[in-house]
């Protein structure tokens, strides 16, 4: 099952041995840049802990492995009852004491299905002080058969008392792009996205979603420069955005920014991020002045904030197009 995560071979070996020889620590801190598979890795270690085949854990076949595998594929709909997660608090910017209390309640009971219970706290640096102290109490006297995986891209924001309780594991991005093989996106582009520090890549599965968002972003840019009928454009955008989550939409905004920056890069003969769209971007670049792009960047920035006020994404992106069309060429 470790194959699901690309790269990080040394960490894989470390955990395989630790599980086999029963030498796991109670608490691990997985640190490293966003989007390199830390959370996914924690889930696979969880499978290894729960797996019924100790010699070859995680076997990928027993009921625990199967459940966790299904959960990895469909995180919204399936779960393993002994794998408890706090995830995606990015938009809230805080993990509260109530949330920590809620998950720790389960430690009053033995695990439901397996021999242990595993907690994953993603973006653990977002715990406020009370929440962190509440967790600390449990980490100081961990209940039997309980494991914690704290995950962060900002270990410096954690309380030293929490850090001192954790066995720290650093996930490096070195060589990661070599393991990604998707036809829709080049390794170079993935590297550029990772290096952009946007933090919108929270797992390798996100990389696959980029394709859709890039097409939408391109459509928006082209719609500004081509004078096609607005009704037609709105229909196309509605289709593209259908079923998008808020995360998808904020990723779309991010890609829109990278494309606008790319147009400026083409003007100054520098490297661009969205290499796959080079031809299309060059076409747009010929039509637009740098002033136009700067003005458009400002507009996109302003309109993006509407996403956080729960305005309809279709309206926001349509607004970008209509405002963009009003800028003098
Ligand atoms: Zn198994």
Query: Average pLDDT for consecutive 10-residue bins of the chain (329 residues)?
Result: 83 92 94 83 96 92 95 84 80 85 90 94 93 95 94 91 93 60 57 59 62 88 87 88 81 87 88 88 92 89 76 86 85
Q: How far is the CA of 127 from the centre of ligand 1 (A)?
A: 32
| CA 55–ligand 1 middle distance (angstroms) | 10
Each domain of the chain, given as residue ranges in start order, spans 2-174, 187-326
Query: In this structure, is the dihedral angle defined by the CA atoms of residues 180, 185, 190 and 192, taken in order, positive or negative?
Result: positive
Assigned token pair, 126: 């977002």
What separation in Å is there between the alpha carbon of 135 and the centre of ligand 1? Answer: 29
Separation CA 281–CA 259 (nearest Å): 8
Q: Return the pLDDT at 133.
A: 96
DSSP secondary structure, 138-151, as one string: HHHSPPTTEEEEEE
142 CA distance to ligand 1 centroid (A)? 25
C-alpha 220 – ligand 1 centre gap (Å)? 46
Task: For residue 85, report the distance from its CA to the centre of ligand 1, in Å.
Answer: 20
148 C-alpha to center of ligand 1: Å? 20
* CATH no. of 2-174: 3.40.50.300
pTM across the whole model: 0.59
| The pLDDT of residue 99 | 92
Compute the distance between CA of residue 41 and CA of residue 78 in angstroms, rounded to an integer.
18
- Tens of pLDDT along 87-124? 765 557 889 999 999 999 988 888 999 899 999 999 99
How far apart CA 167 and CA 158 sit, in angstroms, is: 14
DSSP character for 94?
-
Maximum C-alpha span of the chain: 69
Residues, Cβ < 5 Å to ion ligand 1: 51, 58-59, 62, 65
Give the whole-angstrom CA distance, residue 242 versus residue 8: 35
Q: Kindly give the distance from the C-alpha atom of residue 63 to the centroid of ligand 1, in angstroms, as a whole number.
A: 7
The C-alpha torsion from 180 through 181 and 186 to 190, rounded to 10°, is -20
104 C-alpha vs ligand 1 centroid, how far in Å?
25
Ligand 1 center–CA 321 separation, angstroms: 51
Distance 15 CA to ligand 1 centre (A): 15
Q: Which pLDDT score is estimated for 25? A: 94
């Amino acid at each position: 099952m470790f194959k699901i995560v690309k790269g990080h071979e040394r960490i894989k070996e470390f955990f395989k041995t630790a599980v086999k020889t029963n030498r796991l620590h109670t608490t691990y801190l997985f640190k490293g840049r966003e989007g390199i598979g830390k959370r996914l890795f924690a889930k696979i270690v969880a499978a290894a802990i729960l797996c019924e085949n100790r010699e070859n854990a995680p076997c990928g076949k027993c009921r625990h492995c199967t459940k966790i595998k299904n959960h990895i594929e469909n995180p919204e709909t399936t779960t393993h009852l002994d794998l408890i997660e706090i995830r995606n608090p990015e938009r809230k910017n805080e993990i509260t004491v109530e949330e920590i209390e809620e998950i720790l309640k389960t430690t009053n009971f033995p695990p439901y299905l397996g021999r242990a219970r595993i907690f994953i706290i993603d973006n653990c640096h977002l715990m406020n002080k009370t929440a962190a102290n509440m967790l600390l109490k449990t980490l100081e006297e961990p209940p039997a058969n309980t494991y914690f995986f704290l995950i962060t891209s900002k270990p410096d924001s954690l309380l030293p008392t929490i850090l001192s309780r954790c066995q720290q594991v650093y996930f490096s991005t070195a060589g990661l792009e070599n393991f990604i093989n998707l036809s829709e996106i080049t390794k170079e582009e993935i590297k550029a996205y990772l290096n952009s520090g946007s933090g919108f890549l929270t797992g390798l599965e996100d990389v696959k979603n980029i394709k859709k968002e890039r097409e939408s972003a391109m459509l928006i840019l082209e719609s500004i420069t081509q004078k096609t009928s607005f009704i037609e454009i709105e229909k196309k955008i509605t289709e593209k955005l259908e079923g998008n989550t808020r995360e998808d939409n904020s990723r779309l905004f991010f890609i829109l920014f990278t494309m606008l920056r790319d147009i400026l890069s083409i003007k100054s003969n520098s490297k661009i991020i969205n290499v796959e769209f080079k031809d299309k971007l060059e076409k747009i670049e010929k039509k637009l002045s740098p002033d136009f792009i700067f003005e458009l960047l400002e507009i996109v920035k302003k309109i993006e904030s509407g996403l956080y006020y729960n305005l309809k994404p279709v309206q926001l992106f349509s607004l970008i197009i209509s405002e963009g069309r009003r800028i003098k060429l």
